[in-house]
């Protein structure tokens, strides 16, 4: 970890009035959540992303697509928030004007105690109706046993919306779809207004989400990157901390609020 951590970074965090924490796949991977493409393994390796993560794929074979997303959702359920997620909730408790923005589609921030995460790419736990109005749908309760743990490669029929009887689809952003306008607007506004932006475990190459740290930097915020590897965000980050979220964030929190 960089020598600057216990001094400059801790002071920046303590002095900040508005903080944004922007997270990517790296923080979830530390909880054992596979990345999108890493989940195309075993029997699912017969398919590519275009067969499973587009609206066209869902219309062509809804049972196949819903089965894969139920498989993914079951795997996320078995994961637990790690010390990086918990450190973020501590930052939120110390700096009330904090905003967590994530590219992840799991619920690990919420389970760690973050009350209102902005999900730029949607969520496995926020399905919506396929009707033109695309309203949120109540997710059916899953019974114990086999239905709650889908077999790898298994097709599962998606439920119908209770109010309009249209099919319910996964609440994630598929290839070819725009990011949720309200989430993207809220994220951009938070990045524009913050003093410090922590970017954690993201590659910085998936757009338009990757614009969020750049918006903060161009608005005068201090961007601090936490990532084991160099990324394109190195160039805009004032400080680059090499390490994983679970390693770096608890140390940062301890240094800031001894």
- Domain spans, the chain: 5-256
pLDDT at 143: 46
Map residue 20 onto helix, strand or coil.
strand
pLDDT at 8: 82
* Residue 229, annotated as binding a ligand: yes
pLDDT at 242: 94
d(CA 81, CA 249): 13
Q: Say if CB 149 and CB 67 are below 8 A apart.
A: no
Mark out the alpha helices in 180-237 (DSSP H runs).
181-193, 211-218
* The pair of three-digit structure tokens given for residue 24, joined into one six-digit string: 């990517």
- Cis peptide bond prior to 141, omega within 30° of 0: no
* Residue 201, annotated as binding a ligand: yes
**CATH 3.40.50.1220 assigned to 5-256:** yes
Q: In the 8-state DSSP scheme, what is residue 132? A: T
Task: Provide φ and ψ at 225, rounded to 5°.
Answer: -105, 135
Map residue 69 onto helix, strand or coil.
helix
Torsion of CA 133, 138, 143, 148, to 10 degrees: 60
Task: Report, as residue numbers or ranges, the catalytic residues.
Answer: 121
Ranges of the chain whose pLDDT falls below 50: 1-5, 143-147
* Residue 129, annotated as binding a ligand: yes
pLDDT at 1: 39
d(CA 202, CA 180): 19
pLDDT at 43: 65
pLDDT at 189: 98
Return the half-sphere exposure (C-beta side, CA atoms, 13 A cut-off) of residue 183.
20
Q: In the 8-state DSSP scheme, what is residue 194? A: -
Q: Say if CB 187 and CB 120 are below 8 A apart.
A: yes
Judging by beta carbons within 10 Å of its beta carbon (0-12, 13-18, 19+), is residue 219 exposed, middle or buried? middle
* Residue 161, annotated as binding a ligand: yes
pLDDT at 130: 85
Map residue 125 onto helix, strand or coil.
strand
* The pair of three-digit structure tokens given for residue 64, joined into one six-digit string: 């196949």
pLDDT at 132: 67
* Residue 227, annotated as binding a ligand: yes
């Amino acid at each position: 970890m960089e020598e600057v951590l216990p001094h400059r970074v801790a002071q920046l965090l303590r002095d900040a009035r508005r903080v944004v924490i922007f997270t990517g796949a790296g923080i979830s991977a530390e909880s054992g959540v596979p990345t999108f493409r890493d989940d195309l393994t075993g029997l699912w390796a017969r398919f590519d992303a275009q067969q499973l993560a587009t609206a066209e794929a869902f219309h062509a074979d809804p049972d196949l697509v819903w089965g894969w997303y139920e498989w993914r959702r079951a795997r996320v359920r078995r994961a637990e928030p790690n010390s990086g997620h918990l450190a973020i909730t501590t930052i939120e408790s110390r700096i009330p004007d904090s905003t967590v923005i994530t590219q992840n589609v799991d619920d690990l921030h919420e389970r760690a105690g973050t009350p209102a995460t902005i999900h730029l790419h949607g969520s496995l736990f926020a399905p919506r109706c396929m009707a033109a109005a695309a309203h949120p749908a109540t997710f059916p309760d899953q019974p114990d046993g086999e239905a709650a743990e889908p077999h790898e490669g298994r097709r599962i029929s998606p439920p119908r919306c209770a109010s309009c009887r249209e099919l319910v689809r996964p609440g994630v952003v598929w290839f070819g779809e725009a990011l949720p306008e309200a989430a993207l607007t809220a994220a951009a506004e938070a990045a524009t207004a913050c003093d410090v932006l922590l970017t954690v475990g993201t590659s910085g190459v998936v757009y338009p989400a990757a614009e969020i740290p750049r918006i903060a930097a161009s608005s005068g915020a201090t961007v601090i990157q936490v990532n084991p590897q160099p990324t394109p965000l190195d160039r805009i980050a004032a400080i680059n901390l090499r390490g994983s979220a679970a390693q770096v964030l608890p140390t940062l929190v301890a240094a800031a609020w001894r």
